[in-house]
Structure 1
């Protein structure tokens, strides 16, 4: 059987994996990036919203090739139709400045990794792996051929279904209440009230989560929702069909693409490193528990993992203790805010449709200067006695 040797093997070429490969490959470290798909970025599993500050934090320059829409703000809608507009003319909305095209964006990130020196192998499936003599031997299949890759460090970026972490005996299973079932159409013929604003719908339209309409330009938009199965007897697809039938923006629209998948919304896993191994992105639960957004956190985690891998290779030390530097960086960056968002998420899940309607009516009377998840929770605490009891010590 053919064998390939590399310093760092990254499994999964999504945002986290490509970021890890890019930052590990700098300064001469031998990096191999593999992905089981024949086309990077497909299928997509998110609404494709990213923030300007988030991209800047990981050194990614804006590129018109993958930006489909620059946004002016957001519209939040309660179950009875009460809406709150968060437009740039009135408030700063900092969570999603752009809608991107993941099929182009993910390839762009992989190209960055390649230009940094990483070797990319597509349609390459990691079938199993074992640790041997302070290396990992990863068995792979590609185009009918079997071979293995011997690597000093493996970085698992293979999504919520990650097998890499399990192969390394990390506890990577997520509790059912911490996994949202997501389904999304890309639709044509969407008639939005303001095609420069994203829309969020709350309440029983999407039990345990929310629904969204993210404009991509002209009359095209991503229309989807995430639910948690313990709160409903219906599937995410059934909820989405009902939402599309009732939402004014989508009643005359047609789907041209469908994407489904699980979203880990329970916060970061407790352990994300082992000897010779790190996991990043959805595989590590590095997703905002309140919004379900994970692109920016995956890019950051990938950067941390790549930098630590590069240093570990230079040191000749691939032990768990050495790689825990990556885990510490992630805990410092993500855990404080993720814990607040997790508690906030649990509170919001406890609200009835009537509760949400009342909160939105109260929000309409407030002066708002900046809107992001933290500010929303602060506003809830300000206007809702129930929220004060549940969340008053968070901010």
Structure 2
């Protein structure tokens, strides 16, 4: 391993690996440092991904990691009213349930093949500064203590990003904007359709969040939930056990894996760049605040970050002013949708279980042709004028 690179990426999740690929492909020298010994482990998400982002990046789905296609959604209200939406009839669009352990490795291998160096089992424990500016990272791993100089550090080290804090960036999250998520991988479960994503809304099942059942194969599924710390009275895993035991389709299933993690649902950070440093993915809070999903946003932001950083390095200008091109581009691409997701999350939190049932009853009578938040909101406003003030700004 060299002692100096143009770019050091901290974290080999989707955001980091796509950023590394993008920067390396543009001709810069890139090093990815990952604290875990195995990329993709442990899994910390429901593993659902739309095909849109794969098409944007010319990534062909591979059965080794795109393990199950999905094309419909079922949303279940607190009293059990189900809203079913299928998208394939009109658009032909699909999504996938991933094997993240394989998918994350695939993205890292793609970065390596583009020229990036990768070191696993390497823990970044500090930044290096010169004349008050970041000039690299300190780390420790199998090779002992390391000092690696770089022109830019890309922080892809997750929701608890230490790189962002070391760089002096405000990453604080309110209790109302942070969910605790836990997931069982279960075998021996039943589901309505192997291509349908199931969501369950109820203050009793998942206060401040929702529960999900994502089919992953024959009688195999990811079953999980997220709860807001400010509303939960018990641990997330206790709510999940109750959800499983009370659901006839799940109760006889067997848990073969347990995963857990924190989910930022606060909307993106106001600042995602400084001199010599860029934040991507969960580190930048680029997460759908309504669903908690963030793989697609992380990949899109990673691609933009890699492109901008590579150009900045070639120009010899890695100042905050120059790197703000990244901030501008990702906000132009995703900023408005993230704002709407955050507003929608707050609207959802303001609704009682009774109101959720009323809305579900209305939606269950409509035959939707696509999975669209906007389409559903238009129906709700028309049917429930009293909700207009709550839904203002979303439609």
Which TM-score tier does this pair reach, normalised by the shorter chain?
A: over 0.9
Matched, 1:125 2:123: yes
* 8 Å contact from structure 1 (residues 13, 110) kept in 2: yes
CA distance in 1, matches of 2:128, 2:378: 48
- For residues 241-288 of structure 1, the C-alpha deviation after alignment (integer angstroms, 9 at most, x for no partner) is 110111122100111111111111111000010100001000000001
Q: Which runs of 5+ in 1 are unaligned?
A: none
CA distance in 2, matches of 1:15, 1:310: 18
Counterpart in the other structure of 1:65: 64
CA distance in 1, matches of 2:149, 2:393: 49
RMSD, aligned CA: 1.7
Moved more, 190-199 or 290-299: 190-199
Counterpart in the other structure of 1:254: 254
CA distance in 2, matches of 1:101, 1:110: 14
CA distance in 2, matches of 1:306, 1:224: 33
Counterpart in the other structure of 1:333: 333
CA distance in 2, matches of 1:137, 1:88: 46
Counterpart in the other structure of 1:385: 385
Report how far residue 390 of structure 1 moved: 1.4
CA distance in 2, matches of 1:72, 1:271: 36
* 8 Å contact from structure 2 (residues 18, 302) kept in 1: yes
Instruction: Report the 3-state secondary structure (helix = DSSP H, G, I; strand = E; otherwise coil) of the residue aligned with 1:379.
Output: helix
Instruction: Report the 3-state secondary structure (helix = DSSP H, G, I; strand = E; otherwise coil) of the residue aligned with 1:371.
Output: coil
Matched, 1:212 2:212: yes
After TM superposition, the score normalised by the length of structure 1 is: 0.96
CA distance in 1, matches of 2:386, 2:262: 30
After TM superposition, the score normalised by the length of structure 2 is: 0.96
CA distance in 1, matches of 2:382, 2:239: 32
Instruction: Report the 3-state secondary structure (helix = DSSP H, G, I; strand = E; otherwise coil) of the residue aligned with 1:61.
Output: coil
- For residues 334-380 of structure 1, the C-alpha deviation after alignment (integer angstroms, 9 at most, x for no partner) is 22111112111111111111111111111122232221333333333
Counterpart in the other structure of 2:34: 35
CA distance in 2, matches of 1:128, 1:331: 29
Counterpart in the other structure of 1:49: 48
Instruction: Report the 3-state secondary structure (helix = DSSP H, G, I; strand = E; otherwise coil) of the residue aligned with 2:83.
Output: strand
* 8 Å contact from structure 1 (residues 363, 383) kept in 2: no
Counterpart in the other structure of 2:101: 103
Give runs of aligned pairs for residues 1-395 of structure 1, distance below 5 A. Answer: 4-88=3-87, 97-133=95-131, 135-143=134-142, 145-204=144-203, 205-395=205-395
Instruction: Report the 3-state secondary structure (helix = DSSP H, G, I; strand = E; otherwise coil) of the residue aligned with 2:97.
Output: strand
Moved more, 265-274 or 80-89: 80-89
Q: Which runs of 5+ in 2 are unaligned?
A: none
* 8 Å contact from structure 1 (residues 183, 224) kept in 2: yes
In the alignment of these two chains, the number of paired residues is: 393
CA distance in 2, matches of 1:381, 1:260: 36
